[in-house]
Amino acid sequence: MKYLLQVDFPHTGPFKKEFTEAFTDLAKDIATEEGLVWKIWTENEEAKEAGGVYLFDNLEDANRYLDKHTKRLEAFGYANIRAKIFNVNEGLSVIDNAPL
């Protein structure tokens, strides 16, 4: 069973290239997380939001990472962090070309 973690939060910038430059080191650190299969970074300049969608290979690591990441975001000054963990229906997701 795989688990999808969805996180988003209010973010006033930077966006696009500057967002990439500002968070490259963090992305490299996240890539080493136990149980992480992949992360898709999200940003919406118009709505002033950022976040990510993560795929974990087990629920324990998804929950552990969510706790760690929430504390890190709060330390960066972010508030109103929203997060959900979903079970992935792998049978249906494979039909629709999900990279599981």
**Domains of the chain, CATH where assigned:** 3-92 (3.30.70.100)
Beta bridge partners of 84: 6
* Token pair in block for residue 40: 């898709």
Q: What is the pLDDT of residue 100?
A: 86
pTM for the full model?
0.94
**CA–CA dist 83, 68 (Å, integer):** 12
**CA–CA dist 56, 1 (Å, integer):** 9
**CA–CA dist 53, 42 (Å, integer):** 7
pLDDT > 70: what percent of the chain? 100
pLDDT tens column, 34-70: 999 999 999 999 999 999 999 999 999 999 999 999 9
Give yes or no for residue 6 having a pLDDT over 90.
Answer: yes
Beta bridge partners of 93: none
Q: What is the pLDDT of residue 10?
A: 98
